Structure 1
Amino acid sequence: MTLPDVHLSRAVSHALRHEPWLYELELDEQGWVPVDQLLSALREKGGEWVSVDRPALDRMIEGGSKRRHELDGDRIRALYGHSVPGRVQRHKADPPAQLFHGTAPETWDVVQGDGLRPMRRQFVHLSMDRETALMVGRRKSADPVLLVIDAASAAASGTRFYEGNELVWLAANVPAKFIGIEE
């Protein structure tokens, strides 16, 4: 029996983003771990997991709707979403002029004063398009608000941005003066 890609993706994300120590993995400063170590840790779960191999990882990564993980030779890492202690090192990048963030309406009051902060993650997640931001916002509210980020001005004022993947940008925080709400 083959393990569904969605189950594999969730387990790999958990291991590489949130609790690598539960899998006896150590992320390097850029979040990489050896593929063989990850596969061994997953196989120890038993049952369907014993069949997890490198081709299964390749299929999961290539078949996903979003690029969440990256393979480089014999290494793998999560591209974003880390909540592990310490910060995964990123390379600064120039963001597009605007980015978006979907959230619950009651959060808007806090954002107006404090800006966007990463909360339990290492970075604030920002979307390239309105639809993705609203989809993410629906995880927090049935009727999310759409925040519009003036990323170009924020970057010009010193906010550091990092590319997560083709749809997601990251920032340590975004000051309130660069955030508006789309009515």
Structure 2
Amino acid sequence: MSDREANSLGRILALVLRHAPEKFGVEMDLNGWVNSRELSEAIQNQRRHFHWLRGWHFEAIANSDDKGRYQVEGEMIRATYGHSIELELDLPTDDIPEALYWPCDPESVPTHMEYGITAGDRKHVHLSKTIANAMEAGHVRISRPAILEVDTTRAVADGFTIWRAGKTVFLCEEMPSEYLYHVEEDDPSIQEMISMWEEE
């Protein structure tokens, strides 16, 4: 599979497994799982240039994805995060780091520090494992995102559930302001990312 084909297939997987399984006519269970064989056949029927696609190609994509966007078990595949559809994800809640990070527009920092973080147009708040991961996630839509640190140890102790969704992504339904701290822009991890972007 070429890089171009892998990117195109990745976009299709994101559409089907995160947002609109009905567009390809595949059945999804309440935990987000779809049958790999049925999915490959559905993609072949709608995108003739993927006539060669087989279920095992999804496993290759899942295993090579550095963020852990997809999970394959047997003949089933699902997206682990990024959903806009209502699901009951049965993700693990163990091995949560002591702190996680969330990117936002610098102008919205005071609002989040007062009111917390909510999911917005997604079904969950997406938290990152490191400041660098959060900077990368935020940079997709904000040129220089601000970073909020989440005290996950206190949040979990107080009864908030945080799920481990991918290699660097964690989910929660919301995060109240009392668990948030603004990471200053002079933090070395933030400065390193800004320097890297300025060199591009």
TM-score (normalizing by structure 1): 0.92
Q: Provide closer, same or farther for how the CA distance between residues 102 and 173 of structure 1 changes in structure 2, counting only shifts above 3 A.
A: same
CA distance in 1, matches of 2:114, 2:94: 26
Q: Which amino acid aligns with 2:131?
A: R
- What residue in structure 1 maps to residue 111 of structure 2? 110
- What residue in structure 1 maps to residue 133 of structure 2? 132
Q: Which runs of 5+ in 2 are unaligned?
A: 185-200
The 8 Å contact of residues 32 and 88 in structure 2, kept in 1 or not, is answered as no
The 8 Å contact of residues 91 and 162 in structure 1, kept in 2 or not, is answered as yes
- What residue in structure 2 maps to residue 14 of structure 1? 15
- What residue in structure 1 maps to residue 86 of structure 2? 85
CA distance in 2, matches of 1:46, 1:20: 15
Q: Provide closer, same or farther for how the CA distance between residues 92 and 63 of structure 1 changes in structure 2, counting only shifts above 3 A.
A: closer
Q: Which amino acid aligns with 1:58?
A: E
CA distance in 2, matches of 1:85, 1:11: 19
Alignment of 1:1-183 (within 5 A): 4-93=5-94, 95-183=96-184
CA distance in 1, matches of 2:64, 2:91: 25
Shift of the alpha carbon at 1:175? 0.5
- Greater per-residue helix proportion: 2
Partner deviation per Cα, 1:47-94 (whole Å, 9 max, x = no partner):
322221123223222222221111111111111111113443444335
Higher mean alpha-carbon deviation, 169-178 vs 112-121, is at 112-121
The 8 Å contact of residues 147 and 182 in structure 1, kept in 2 or not, is answered as yes
Q: Provide closer, same or farther for how the CA distance between residues 139 and 28 of structure 1 changes in structure 2, counting only shifts above 3 A.
A: same
CA distance in 2, matches of 1:177, 1:43: 49
User: Deviation above 6 Å: which 4+ runs of structure 1?
Assistant: none
| % identity of equivalent residues | 26
CA distance in 2, matches of 1:167, 1:86: 21
The 8 Å contact of residues 32 and 87 in structure 2, kept in 1 or not, is answered as no
SS of 1:106's partner is helix
The 8 Å contact of residues 23 and 41 in structure 1, kept in 2 or not, is answered as yes
The 8 Å contact of residues 125 and 171 in structure 1, kept in 2 or not, is answered as yes
CA distance in 2, matches of 1:163, 1:46: 33
Q: Provide closer, same or farther for how the CA distance between residues 108 and 167 of structure 1 changes in structure 2, counting only shifts above 3 A.
A: same
TM-score (normalizing by structure 2): 0.84
In the comparison of the two structures, how many residue pairs are matched? Answer: 183
The 8 Å contact of residues 149 and 178 in structure 1, kept in 2 or not, is answered as yes
